[in-house]
Amino acid sequence: MKIVAALGGNALSRRGEPITSQNLRKNVREAVEPLAGLALEHDLVLTHGNGPQVGLLALQNLAYEEIAAYPLDILGAETQGMLGYVVGQELMNAVRLKKEMATILTTTAVAGDDPAFDNPTKFVGPVYSEERANELAAEHGWTIAQDGEWWRRVVPSPEPLHIRQAATIRALSEMGLIVLCVGGGGVPVVADYEAGHLRGVEAVIDKDLASAVLAHDIEADLLLLLTDADAVYLDWGTPEQRAIERATPEALAEFGFAAGSMGPKVDAARRFVADGHGEAVIGSLSKLGEILAGTSGTRIVGSGDLRFYS
C-alpha cells in the first residue's frame, strides 16, 4: 500500500520547549519509532512541518543587522535540509538500516495572485507572551496573532496547487525507497510557464494541504494526518463531545472546525478523498497501530454513514 504520512509540528517541537538540536533529535526519535513498521511493510512517503524551525532561523537571521534578511522561501529550504537530515537519520535508525530512503528538496507551486498574500494566517516560530510578541512585531514589522494562550508570528499561506517533484517522489517510492519530502509544505514557488521561469515567494504553505496535494499527485492509497489528537471531535471541550469514527467528505463539510487546530487537517483529508484516489485518517501518532487496525482515528471515506465511537 502506498501511504503518505504527515507528521504534525508537535512531533518535532513541543509547545513552549526550547528549539535546541538536542530537543529536536529527542522528539524526532520518539516520533519516528512508531513509523518503523509502517515503513518496512508499505511504500511510505513521509512529510513534516517546519513552523518552529523556520521561525527560529528567521530570528537568527535578524541578528546579522549588516546583512539583509533572507526571505522565507530560502529559510524554508534550509529547514528542509536540517529536518531532512535529522528525521531521515532517526528513521533509518528506527528501521535498523533494513530499507533505504531518499530526502527530496521539494517546491510547491502557488498562484502569484493568491489572496493569502494580503492576509497572513500561518503560524511560524516560537511562542511569546503578548507583550513580547508586540515588541517583536513593532521591531521587525511582523504580523502577530494569538495561538492558544500564547502569541506567534503569522505569515501568508497560499493554496498549494501541485508538487513540482511529484513524479520523482513517485518513482523513488515505486523503487522501494522511503521518501521524505514536502518539508514544511514545500518551498512556495510561482511558475511563469510562458517565460519558463520560477521564483520563490515569501510564504509558508500548510503542510497538511500540501501533503494532500502530494497524495493526489502520486495516487496514494492512504493519507495519514498524524497529530496529538486521537480523532476528530464534534463539540470538543464540552460534555457532549463525540469522536468521529468514519465520515465522508460531504458529512464533514457540514461541521465547522477551528482554523488554528483541526480545520486544515479536516480540509486536507476531505480534498484528497473527494478526488477519489483513496482514504484518509486523522489520528494520534502514538496510536498508529490502532489506526491501522481501524480502532482509532477518524477515517474519511468515499461513501457510508457518519459514525461515532461509542
The residues annotated as belonging to the active site are 9-10, 122, 207, 265
Q: List the grid coordinates of 159.
A: 493554496
In the chain, the N- to C-terminal Cα span, in Å, equals 29
Q: In what helix (H) or strand (E) does residue 207 lie, and over which residues does it extend?
A: helix 207-217
Q: Which of 54, 71, 55, 204 is nearest to 128 (CA)?
A: 55
105 close to 50: Cβ distance less than 8 angstroms: no
Q: Which of 147, 141, 143 is nearest to 117 (CA)?
A: 143
Q: List the grid coordinates of 245.
A: 469514527
Q: How far apart are CA 233 and CA 41, in angstroms?
A: 30
DSSP string, 51-116: HHHHHHHHHHHHT-TTSPPPPHHHHHHHHHHHHHHHHHHHHHHHTTTSS-EEE---EEE--TT-GG
How far CA 104 is from CA of 27, 54, 172, in Å, comes to 22, 18, 10
Q: List the grid coordinates of 177.
A: 525507497
Q: How far apart are CA 103 and CA 106, in angstroms?
A: 9
The one-character DSSP state at 137 is: H
Q: How far apart are CA 6 and CA 48, in angstroms?
A: 5
Strand partners of residue 2: 43
The one-character DSSP state at 15 is: T
